[in-house]
């Protein structure tokens, strides 16, 4: 379970990652204002980093960014799967990772030891703590519903007044092309996930010859737990019970933790960066198996304007005309779609490590690949779409009627998309 911080291992890891990142990615963009706010927060109070989780590259990337900015490396809650990787597992441990079971299976002793370990790291304040609110990687590029276990643990010292304040930092990591794109599509089709191993990692080195475009890392405004909690809860029960005695969270506390988790995920979503390929995939999936290139450019431009109108955070290459921007995206994702004789065709050829001649499987595979990128756009339009449905069903312009219908559809899709829980905060729904 325990982590270490061996500077020799850290420097070796940083050197190796710098070489790997230069092979894989064109650029890594970081918002400097967010980084400055994070540096200030680290100096003031304990900090918990809460990044989005789309790839195993997330925690490596964040640690490398912290190393580059000469900040204390985060202590990372990692899955126990990595512990079985020879050499790599120990290297991760010496670089700040500690390993936890995927499920505790009712083992109260393990839970107590694990919770106390995390709290000690937080109370010492030597380094930020990092974990994923989603719990695991999203295979569909849609944000998963939050898991509350670790969030309960890190908030406990604050609620017991062992820590004056804790800053929660939402981090949005956006990939132009995801390393595990093939793996996710296969998993969604029922192919078992390969076990994490050092040999598997070495076999994957062939991807070093591929281009995965740009990465955007957006550090959000640090969220003060003290500010969020102000006036919301009765904290006196914590003063009546000795701190060393575990307490079951009250309904009031559980609701507070739930609200914080959803608020963090909404902040992550708000700062995710979209790229032209996301728009292109959305158009391609409506025009399978092929579409005229000029028509694709026209529809992509239309969707670009609509996305920006609804507040989407879009990274569009302004130095290129629309057709060149689309061609550039097609070149980066030539494994998914190709430009042939003026037609953009979604590939159904054999890809990845599964061999099959089944045309249905191949079609589903390519559709899921495109769908994982298209899904990134859904957060921009899901609320306007539900409002449009509500207006169409009610045939009314009365705000309360429309909102009631909207609330119904929001509840229906609450497991598919992230909405703020409850109906009291209409602006956050």
Q: In three state form, how does the secondary structure of 363-392 look?
A: HHHHHHHHHHHHHHHHHHHHHHHHHHHHHH
Measure the CA–CA gap between 399 and 298, rounded to whole angstroms: 36
- What is the CA 271 to chain-centroid distance, rounded? 11
pLDDT of 278 reads 97
Q: How far apart are CA 223 and CA 384, in angstroms?
A: 27
DSSP 82: G
Of 57, 58, 194, 50, which Cα lies nearest the Cα of 134?
Answer: 50
- The model's pTM: 0.91
What is d(CA 408, CA 227) in angstroms, rounded to the nearest whole number?
A: 31
pLDDT at residue 218, as a whole number: 97
pLDDT band, very low/low/confident/very high, at 248 (cuts 50, 70, 90): confident
pLDDT at 425: 43
First to last CA, the chain: 38
Give the pLDDT confidence of 96-108 residue by residue, as tens digits.
Answer: 888 887 777 677 8
Per-residue H/E/C for 187-223: HHCCCCCCCCCHHHHHHHHHHHHCCCCEEEEEECCCE
CA distance linking residue 137 with residue 117, whole number of Å: 24
- pLDDT tens digits for range 232-244: 776 666 666 666 6
Q: In the chain, what are the domain boundaries?
A: 7-177+212-271, 276-381
CATH no. for 7-177+212-271: 3.40.1130.10
């Amino acid at each position: 379970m325990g982590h270490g911080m061996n500077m020799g291992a850290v420097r070796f890891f940083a050197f190796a990652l710098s070489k790997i990142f230069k092979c894989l990615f064109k650029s890594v963009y970081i918002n400097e204002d967010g980084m400055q706010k994070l540096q200030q927060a680290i100096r003031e109070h304990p900090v918990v980093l809460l990044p989005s989780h789309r790839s195993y590259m997330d925690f490596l990337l964040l640690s490398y960014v912290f190393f580059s900015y000469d900040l204390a490396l985060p202590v990372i809650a990692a899955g126990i799967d990595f512990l079985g990787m020879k050499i790599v597992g120990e290297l991760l441990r010496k670089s700040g990772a500690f390993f936890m079971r995927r499920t505790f299976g009712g083992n109260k002793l393990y839970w107590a030891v694990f919770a106390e370990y995390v709290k000690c790291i937080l109370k010492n304040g030597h380094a930020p703590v990092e974990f994923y609110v989603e719990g695991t990687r999203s295979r569909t590029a849609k944000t998963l519903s939050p898991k509350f276990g670790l969030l309960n643990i890190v908030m406990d010292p604050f609620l017991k007044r062992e820590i004056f304040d804790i800053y929660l930092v939402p981090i949005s990591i956006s990939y132009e092309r995801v390393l595990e794109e093939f793996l996710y599509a296969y998993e969604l089709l029922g192919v078992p996930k390969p076990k994490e191993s050092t040999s598997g990692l070495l076999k994957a080195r062939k991807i070093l010859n591929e281009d995965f475009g740009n990465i955007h890392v957006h550090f959000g405004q640090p969220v003060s737990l003290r500010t969020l909690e102000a006036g919301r809860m009765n904290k006196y029960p914590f003063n009546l019970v000795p701190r060393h005695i575990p307490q079951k969270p009250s309904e009031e506390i559980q609701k507070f933790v739930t609200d914080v988790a959803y608020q963090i995920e909404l902040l992550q979503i708000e700062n995710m960066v979209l790229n032209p390929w996301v728009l292109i995939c959305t158009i391609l999936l409506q025009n399978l198996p092929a579409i005229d290139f000029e028509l694709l450019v026209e529809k992509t431009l239309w969707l670009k304007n609509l996305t920006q109108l609804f507040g989407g955070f879009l990274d569009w290459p302004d130095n290129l005309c629309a057709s060149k921007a689309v061609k550039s995206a097609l070149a980066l994702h030539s494994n998914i779609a190709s430009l042939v004789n003026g037609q953009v065709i979604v590939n159904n050829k054999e890809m990845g490590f599964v061999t099959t001649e089944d045309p249905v499987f191949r079609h589903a595979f390519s559709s899921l690949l495109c769908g994982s990128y298209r899904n990134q756009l859904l957060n921009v339009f899901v609320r306007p779409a539900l409002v449009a449905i509500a207006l169409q069903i009610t045939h009314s312009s009365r705000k309360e009627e429309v909102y009631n219908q909207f609330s119904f559809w929001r509840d229906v899709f609450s497991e598919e998309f992230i909405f703020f829980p409850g109906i009291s905060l209409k602006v956050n729904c």
